[in-house]
Amino acid sequence: MAREELRGAVRVSRPLEIEYSCDCPPIKATVQDISEDGMFIDSQHPMNVGDTITFKLTLPGHGDPIEGTAQVMWTQQMVGIGVHFTKVGDDERERIKFFVASEFFS
């Protein structure tokens, strides 16, 4: 079964600014796609499946950056990492859902 078939949530492709860290100084990168459950981060920094990152995600036109944690679910060297949100406040999660829905239906 392809990775896309395992996803339960709608994903939208939209470059977004993110700053994340995994026991290192903050790294600025770009999110290539996002869903209410997780995102793909375009990053050339090596990570391991199971690593936990902290992040600040900027949604254009949606207020202050969203802060939270996510777990690395898959990685491809020199391409990026797929992460699943593990700790995001209820209000922030609603902002992500609204952003994804508004991008999907626009």
Q: Which tens digit of pLDDT belongs to each residue from 22-78? A: 988 999 999 999 999 999 999 888 899 999 999 999 998 878 999 999 999 999 887
Asked if pLDDT for residue 7 goes beyond 70, the answer is: no
What's residue 8's pLDDT?
A: 65
What's residue 2's pLDDT?
A: 35
What's the total number of domains in the chain?
Answer: 1
Long-range contacts of 29-37 (CB under 8 A, 24+ apart): 31/57, 32/80, 34/96, 34/99, 34/100, 35/7, 35/9, 35/10, 35/11, 35/100, 36/9, 36/10, 36/93, 36/96, 36/97, 36/100, 37/7, 37/8, 37/9, 37/84, 37/85
| Overall average pLDDT of the 9-16 stretch | 88
Domain limits for position 44: 3-104
CATH of residue 30: 2.40.10.220
Asked if pLDDT for residue 5 goes beyond 90, the answer is: no
What's residue 62's pLDDT?
A: 72
pTM: 0.86
